Structures are given as structure tokens and as C-alpha cells.
Chain A
Amino acid sequence: MDRKALLREALAADKQTIPQYLDYESPSVNVTEWLRYSCIPVYEQENAAKDPELASSMEKALSLTDSALSFRVGFLVVPLSWDEDGFPVFPFEQRSEKLKKNLLGCDKAVLFAATIGSGIDRLIRRFEKADPKMGLLLQGLGAERVESLCDAFNEEVKEICKETGRETRMRFSPGYGDLPIEVQKVFLPLLDAERRLGITLSESCLMAPSKSVTAIIGVC
């Protein structure tokens, strides 16, 4: 089954679905975002583009990452119910006002984890000491890659929802605003993320590989 068919089936289900896994091709690189994540603000970028050294470093970063990344997403869909205080009920404990507001009016939510794998972390290690500028560009590129992967997944969810006249909310991540990062301890096992995506959690709830994202997309 192709990705969209899988998503369509999961979004049509009326109870919590089992986790499923999708592979993506490398999304096209958003250079503006890449440079922004590399500490070059958007208003500086026109200036930066004239720097031939930067251009050749960027080219090198792209060729280094060319075959070192994989683009995987694990997701499941949960029907939403609400407790007496109006907070959405998830398999994890949380009382986030911001998430509550984000999900107001939704009847289900997509929980997903996206990762570009550990190859990027090895590259960053390799370069951050020997060539800090390349380290920074690789950090930035990794952040852009995983965000672009989330965008690609999010876009497909949105399109499928549209088919049945539904809409999606902005994706919302553990650790953002008042949604505690500790929910990761339940979030990731729900997706069997360690075994299926290779994502592990540190004591302080940070993900490895570092270029991984978890988020919730409300559907209304």
C-alpha cells in the first residue's frame, strides 16, 4: 500500500490505530531555512550568498549528507476525548493549556515521530571540532532536513483530511510551550520508536538521533 492509502485508512479508523511507518525520498532543501538554522539570519542571506567560501562549504555539506540520511516517519491516529476540565485525554499525562487550545474542536489527532537517522550525528561529530563552520552548516542542514520531512508528512495528512472536508491544526511538539518534554517517555514507546525508528531517549528526555521530531497534529 502506498503512503497515502495507509494514511487514509488510519485517518478513517474510529479507534486508536496501531503504529505504522513510512519512508520518504529526500525532500528538496529549503536553503533559507538551512541558513537560518546555521545562524545566518534571513536578512543577512543575500549578503552571505556572495561569499564563495560559504557556497563551496554548502556544496560540500550537501555531498557529505547525500547518502548518509534516511527519512522515516512513524505515526498513529487517536480519537480524542476530553476530561472534566476540558483537557484532551492522551495515553500520557498532561495539562497543557496551549495544547488544549490548539486541539479545541478536534475529534482525532495524529501522533508522529520523524527522524533522518544517526548518520547526520556522526558527520557533525566528525566536523564540529576539525572544522566548526562545517559543523555548524551540518547542524543547520540536519535541522532543516528533519523539519522538511515533518512538512512532507504534515502536508500529506492535510491533503487527505481535505478529501473528506476536514482540516488540520498546526503541529504541536512535546517540550513546546507548556506541554512537558517528559511526555516523550510515553509518546515514543507508543510508536515503538526505539525498535522501528531507532529513536532513543536520554535521561533528560532528549532524542537520539538528535535530528528527530515528535509532534501531534489535531484533525477537526
Chain B
Amino acid sequence: MNIRDYMKDHFLFLDGGMGTLLQEAGLQPGELPERWNVTHPEEIIRIQKSYYDAGSNVVLSNTFGANGLKFDDEELEQLVTAAVKNAREAARQSTGTQEKFVALDIGPLGKLLKPYGDYEFEDAVAMYAKTVKFGVAAGVDLVFIETMNDSYDTKAALLAVKENTDLPVFVSNAYGADGKLMTGASPAAMVAMLEGMHADAIGANCSLGPDQLVGVVEEYLEYASVPVLLKPNAGLPRAENGKTVYDVFPPEFSESVGKLLEKGVRIAGGCCGTTPDYIRAVVEKSKSITPVPVTEKNLSLVSSYTHAVKFGESPILIGERINPTGKKRFQQALRENDIDYILGEALKQQDAGVQLLDVNVGLPEIDEPAFLLRAVRELQAVTDLPLQLDTTDPVAMEAGLRAYNGKAMVNSVNGKEEVMSVIFPLVAKYGGFVVALTLDEGGIPDTAEERVAIAEKIIKRAADYGIDKKDLIFDPLAMTISADTTAALATMQAVHRIRHDLKVNTSLGISNVSFGLPSRNIITSTFFALCLQDGLSAAIMNPYSQEMMNVYHAFRALHNMDENCMDYITYAQNLPAPTMTAPAAGAAPAAGGEAAASGSGEGPSSELQKAIVRGLKEKTGSLTKAMLAEKKPLEIIQSEVIPALNIVGADFEKKKVYLPQLLMAAEAAKSAFEEVKVAMAASDEGNSGSSRCPFVIATVHGDIHDIGKNIVKLILENYGFAVSDLGKDVPEQTVVDEVVRLHAPIVGLSALMTTTVPAMEETIKLLREQAPWAKVCVGGAVLTQEYADAIGADRYCRDAMETVRYAEEIDEELKKSN
């Protein structure tokens, strides 16, 4: 019988622990258990048979650690093939009369993926794929991914399975005592991602006993529409006479597991410390329990690598600011590969209170697939908000969805067949919550009825791809009322009907409605309130607009979505005080208490300089803005910002200020630069944001310490250098390629560990061969002048200021020689 069919009406029983039983059979510490498939097949078969005899329906092949990191391809194939054969033989020999299946067991690679570790996501997918291919060729009934403690790693393994077989796949994660995966994911986040990728059953194993996993299991049962599995440890381990023993025994174990079967768990077994006796007890216990039917929960979820966001209850705010349309400053950032600017926009919107971020990096002259991929990875390194991938390029969409850690929101499809036929397959494969625009080959219909008709068509077409309407969210399109005053009415009616008649979520790009009108905020925010009343589930909006945020908070309070109005009260308390009389910009501030932080002879000579020296970020920004009315942007840099930085820099060199103060001043200066960049982008002065030479900076191959490098980068940027930051753990040739590409006259390399200095030396060697013009300065905790000389660097720079001084030297020489 097919396991998918069998599961529909029966509990499914898994096996129990393997490790302890192998040790009892003589496996030595440090010996790889997978090798026993070939050297001791009789022991493996004996143990697995005892599980089938105890009533297990599914026994996992002895392949937990069988992966390409531990074994070469030839041995891996041999071990996996033997393991599957052993499990089959155990099933054959068993006297049990139950349905029996063999699962290919897949455990984690033991590598932490980027950005927190050093292992590439795609390498992990390829590594898991090897084991999957060998296992499938050997003839298993299903694949069982287990003990995964990181959501990205789980995605890599599941993707490898899905790309190599149509067999059923179960996915089990290992939760900590805090109810989260080691890298932070909640059960709901895992449900969203794994169901999106069509796992057949999901749940938890290992790490804890059944009683400690109750909370995790309950969360699975609340969110999951597929069967939930549980494979807990026999409680918590402790040592007794040099052996590990567990504190929960078969009677209590089966009692605890039985309670969870009654609550809805459909698949159960045991992990560390459990034996056939535990399984037998669970099977026995289950005889008095009727399986709870698995029901469709109809939840509309997106997720990040930490949490899930549910649509359809409290309205969801999606920040619209990561989008180049109509934003010169943003376009400039895209052209200059300035990812930090985009990350800054993300964090600002998160602080402003959005629950999701729209990410649009489409600009005709950039490589959108590559940039979207990079943006997704970098954004997920700094923010835990789920992302909405916003692109019309299907190649970019696939790159982004594949790299995304979680279940992303997809923006967008529409009623055009050519769009649905390329986007829906991507959603079916990677999972996703899809924005569907109610337009088609005939354009945007004028009436609500016609838009609803398109929505119905899209729902049907999505179903062909196995995508349920719970994973669709319709955008019935807000058009400006300045062109047609019936436009907003049609949109609101469409929102109402899609939400209440079709029972599907709705979203709108709100601000279009007021295009072409004065004081747009008044129209936009009122329209937002009206749409929310009609059932709008989400809005792509500007979270910096106080009017919009007012509407959102008031709506939630008025609609009983805000218990005791607590969110509203907190919001209201943090509103800026009404400005009675706006102080004239740039006016002299009150005297007193403005003493410069530095004790140097050359004190700051203007308010702007003082603000920078004291690290006052906002004040620096507003003073710069005011000053831009009178002075040219570059003049402000030359006569104000750089002198202020020199004061702080000199004090740092004299040890009169310390690093945090230097960083604060640098941050303040950065806000001055931002204002200048905005002004220059607006006046089309071009991209001459930096007036100094390019500077390539990297932490060398094998080293992941980048605190020092990041500080040097920040200060260099402040001094006007066009810094290209390659990040950390950068391969030697990558550094060289970037130096060649920019024809950069100077390179900065950082290493913290003695073990990675050879990589630094190698990088310098390659630079001398392929980019002989470039000067190389080096820094980092282990480096000294002698060391720098020995590896052939041009200069050892002990801190950020020394690097600046050296870069200035090179820049001056360059300017002279030109």
C-alpha cells in the first residue's frame, strides 16, 4: 500500500533510537555508524527488525550521517545502498503483520549556512542531493529529513529531495527548550515554509522528551494542514556509571505520547534513548485512541527564518520604500551597488512598524536576478521581517524565491496566461503567498464586477498548479481619482466582494489613489481607512507617513484587534509633540552645554562641525539640510564634514576619544553625506558622491572576523573614498577581480587569525601578478609591521585612522601624477 494512502486512516508508527543500540552492539566512540551497514549488516538488520517486530510501520535507514562531507561518492553510494537493503531485509524478516515502509534517513550536514556560518546554501542542496539520489536508486518508500535545527538547512535538504524524487517526504526539526530552532524559527514559521514546499508530514524530534515538546506540538497542530509527527527523546539524559541513561521509561513515554495522539498527532516514534519497548508501548497505547482527522486550516501565512505572519485578521503593513520607482537616491544606490543603503531602508521601516518589506530592485541597467538574490540574502542577515519579492522578471523571481529563508510573498501575477504559466510553477515549487493583480490581456477593467471575474479566473488557474486560494491575495488595483473620480469606488467594491464573496485576502498599493492631487496624504490615508473597513487585509504603504500609521492604529483599536488599546496607547505616547513654532532651520542653538567633546586645540568651528564631533546624528542631518540652501553640496563636505572628522580622528589618534565615539561621529557624518547625496541626486550632479579614489576592502579567505574591517570601511567612506566592500571570507581571486574591475589603486586586507595570514599572503601575491599598480595595506589583531613586511604588504595600518592617512597619501600622489 502507498504510504500516503495508508496515513489517511491510520496512525503511522516510526522507529526509535539507533545510536545507543549500536553502542551496545559494540560501536566504538568515534566510529562512523554508517560504515556498519557494510561491516556489520547483521547487527543493523537485527536492530531494525526488532523495531518492525515492536510495531513500527516506518524504519529509517541507518544513514543519519551519510553525506558527501564525511564520505567520498563511491563509499557514500555503497553505504546508502547497503543501508536501504538492510532495512528491507529487516522488514522481510519481521514477524509483524502491520504495513511496513522503509525511509531514507537524512540528518543535518553539520555546517551552518551563510550568513551566520560559512557554508553556501547551494552547496548544501548539492550535498543533500547526492544522498537522496543514492537512496532513491536503492528503492525507499519515502524520505525522512530529521533533527534539523536551522530553517535554511531544512530548506536546502527539502529542496534536494523535491528536485530528485516524487516520493513522499517527512520533515522533522529539533527544537530547543525555548520552543524555537537553534537559529530562531518558531514552529509556525516552519509549518509555513514546509507546507509551501509540499512536505507530506512535518513535526519535531530529538532534543527533548515528549512532555517538554507539548508546546511545540500544539503549535504545529494549530497551524499545520498536513499530518504532524513526533519522535521525542526518552526524556532528558544523564550519566550513570559512565553510560548515558534517560529519565522517561516506556510506560510514562507512551502515556505522554498517547496524550498528544489524542490531540491530533498522527505519526509517532522515538529518538535518543528509546528502544523497541518504547515503540511497543506507544503502539499498545494507541489502540484505545481514534486518530484525529487532519483538517485544512485555511491559514494564509508568510514567514521569515524566525516567525510567521498571518493574513486575514489584523491588517498587515508592507513597507514600500525598497523600490527605485521615482526615487533618485535609491536608483543611485542600485547603480553603485550600495547595498547598505537598502539595508538601512529596511531597518528604518521595521522601526516604523511594518510587518513585511516589499523588495523591488528593478532598474533597466542592472542585473536584476543577481541583485535581487543578493538583496534577499543581505536583508535576511539584518532583518527578521518576511519579504515580498517584487519583480516582473521571472528569472529574478526564481533566484529570490530559491534563496529566501522562509515562505516569501510573491509580487505578482495577474490574469494574463503568460504570467500565470511562469510564476505559478515557481510558487508550486518554492512555496509562496502570491499577490494577484486583477488585470489581464484586456487591461484593467473599470468595474468591480469585471475585476472580481478576473480574480475568479486566477483562482481556478492557480488550483491547476496545486495552489490553494488561501495562498493568493488579490490586489484589485487602486487608480488615481484625479483621472477618474469613480476609480476609488470601483476599487473599494472589488475589495469588499473579493474578501466577503470569494473569501480571499486583498492588498492594495494605497498611495496611487491620490496621484496628481495636492496634499496627497489626506486622500491616501482616508482611502486606506475606507478600504480597511471594506475588508482590506494588507497594504503596501509608506510607513513614514504619520497619517497612514494613525489610520492603522485607530482602525485596530476600533475593530477590537487591540486588546485594551495597548498598542494604540503605546503608539500615541511616542508620537512627536506637535510643533508649535518650527525653529528656523540652521538657526543658532541655545548656548551652553555645547562644549566640544574633544580637548584638541583646533575645536569645531561651526554648529554642524560640533554636531558631528559630538555624534549627534539627527541634528547633523537637519543642519546639513539647512546648509544646503546656501552652500554647494561638495563645499559642505570639504569645509564642514571633513574638518569635523579630522578633529575627531586626531583626538582618536591622541587617545582623547575612544572607538565608540569615533563611530558615533562617523555615523553623524554619514547622515550629512546622505543629505548631500540626496541633494546631488536631485540636482542631477551625477554620481560624483565620492571625490576620492576607489578602495577595495575585504576580510581574507577563511576568516570571518569583520568588526575591524567594517569600522575601517565606515571611516574611509566618511573621508570620501569609494569603498567597495567585498565582505568576509573572500576568496583570493575575488579580491583581485574587483581591484582589476575598478582599477583600484589601493586595497585593504584584514585578518584576525594567524591561520588565515597565509590567505592574505596569497592574495597579495596574486595582486602583484594581476594588478601590479595596486598598493596593499593590511590590518587585524595578529598583524605587526614585521608580519606585514614578511608577506609583502606595502603598509601595516594599526587602526582606521592610519588606514585613512595612508589612503589619503595614495590619493594625493594619484592626483599629482594626473
Interface residues of A (CB under 8 A from B): 1, 6, 9-10, 13, 15, 17-18, 20-21, 38-41, 44, 48, 51, 53-54, 57, 70, 91, 117-119, 121-122, 125-126, 128-133, 135-137, 139, 175, 181, 189, 194-195, 198, 200, 202-206, 208-210
- 4 nearest A-B residue pairs (beta carbon): A204-B702, A198-B182, A202-B118, A39-B659
What is the distance, in angstroms, from B178's C-beta to the closest C-beta of chain A?
A: 7
**Contact partner, A130, options B382, B615, B658, B664, Cβ 8 Å:** B382
| Contact present for B660 and A129 (CB under 8 Å) | no
| Contact present for B343 and A129 (CB under 8 Å) | yes
Give Cα A6 to B756, complex, Å. Answer: 39
| Contact present for A54 and B660 (CB under 8 Å) | yes
Give Cα A181 to B754, complex, Å. Answer: 10
Instruction: Give 21 pairs: A residue, B residue, CB < 8 Å, sorted on A.
Output: A10-B239, A17-B239, A20-B239, A38-B660, A48-B660, A53-B664, A54-B660, A122-B116, A125-B116, A136-B659, A175-B753, A189-B30, A195-B174, A198-B149, A200-B111, A200-B117, A202-B111, A202-B119, A204-B756, A206-B118, A208-B116
| Contact present for B667 and A40 (CB under 8 Å) | no
| Contact present for A195 and B111 (CB under 8 Å) | no
Known: A70-B176, A118-B116. A206 touches B704 (CB 8 A): yes
**Contact partner, B30, options A1, A6, A91, A210, Cβ 8 Å:** A91
Please name all residues of chain B whose beta carbon is closer than 8 Å to the beta carbon of A1 when the two chains form the complex: 238
Give Cα A195 to B178, complex, Å. Answer: 16
Give Cα A61 to B183, complex, Å. Answer: 20
What is the distance, in angstroms, from B303's C-beta to the closest C-beta of chain A?
A: 16
Please name all residues of chain A whose beta carbon is closer than 8 Å to the beta carbon of B383 when the two chains form the complex: 126
Select from chain A the residue with minimum beta-carbon distance to B117: A208
A51, A130, A131 interface centre (most CB from chain B within 10 Å): A130
B206, B239, B667 interface centre (most CB from chain A within 10 Å): B239
Interface residues of B (CB under 8 A from A): 30, 108, 110-112, 115-119, 147, 149, 174, 176, 178, 182-184, 206, 237-239, 242-244, 340, 343-344, 347, 381-384, 615, 655, 658-661, 663-664, 666-667, 702-704, 707, 710-711, 714, 729, 753, 755-756
| Contact present for B703 and A204 (CB under 8 Å) | yes
Please name all residues of chain A whose beta carbon is closer than 8 Å to the beta carbon of B658 when the two chains form the complex: 39-41, 44, 48
Known: A118-B116, A136-B659, A198-B149. A203 touches B702 (CB 8 A): yes
Known: A40-B660, A128-B707, A198-B182. A121 touches B116 (CB 8 A): yes
B117, B381, B663, B756 interface centre (most CB from chain A within 10 Å): B117
Give Cα A132 to B659, complex, Å. Answer: 10
What is the distance, in angstroms, from B755's C-beta to the closest C-beta of chain A?
A: 6
| Contact present for B239 and A18 (CB under 8 Å) | yes
Please name all residues of chain B whose beta carbon is closer than 8 Å to the beta carbon of A17 when the two chains form the complex: 239, 242
What is the distance, in angstroms, from B47's C-beta to the closest C-beta of chain A?
A: 20
Select from chain B the residue with minimum beta-carbon distance to A130: B347
Give Cα A126 to B176, complex, Å. Answer: 23
Give Cα A202 to B714, complex, Å. Answer: 27
Give Cα A131 to B710, complex, Å. Answer: 12
Please name all residues of chain A whose beta carbon is closer than 8 Å to the beta carbon of B756 when the two chains form the complex: 204
| Contact present for A136 and B184 (CB under 8 Å) | no
Please name all residues of chain B whose beta carbon is closer than 8 Å to the beta carbon of A117 when the two chains form the complex: 182
**Contact partner, B110, options A175, A194, A210, Cβ 8 Å:** A194
Please name all residues of chain A whose beta carbon is closer than 8 Å to the beta carbon of B704 when the two chains form the complex: 202, 204, 206, 210
Give Cα A54 to B615, complex, Å. Answer: 11
| Contact present for A208 and B343 (CB under 8 Å) | no
Select from chain A the residue with minimum beta-carbon distance to B710: A128
| Contact present for B239 and A129 (CB under 8 Å) | no
Please name all residues of chain B whose beta carbon is closer than 8 Å to the beta carbon of A40 when the two chains form the complex: 658-660
Select from chain A the residue with minimum beta-carbon distance to B381: A125
Select from chain A the residue with minimum beta-carbon distance to B149: A198
| Contact present for B115 and A18 (CB under 8 Å) | no
Give Cα A204 to B184, complex, Å. Answer: 25
| Contact present for A70 and B178 (CB under 8 Å) | yes
Select from chain B the residue with minimum beta-carbon distance to A57: B660
Give Cα A208 to B269, complex, Å. Answer: 31
What is the distance, in angstroms, from B520's C-beta to the closest C-beta of chain A?
A: 29
Give Cα A21 to B147, complex, Å. Answer: 18
Give Cα A54 to B659, complex, Å. Answer: 11
| Contact present for B238 and A132 (CB under 8 Å) | no
B655, B660, B702 interface centre (most CB from chain A within 10 Å): B660
What is the distance, in angstroms, from A136's C-beta to the closest C-beta of chain B?
A: 6
Give Cα A21 to B178, complex, Å. Answer: 16
Give Cα A40 to B711, complex, Å. Answer: 15
Give Cα A203 to B112, complex, Å. Answer: 11
Give Cα A20 to B239, complex, Å. Answer: 7
Give Cα A41 to B655, complex, Å. Answer: 10
Select from chain B the residue with minimum beta-carbon distance to A51: B661
| Contact present for B663 and A133 (CB under 8 Å) | yes
Select from chain B the residue with minimum beta-carbon distance to A91: B30
Select from chain A the residue with minimum beta-carbon distance to B206: A195
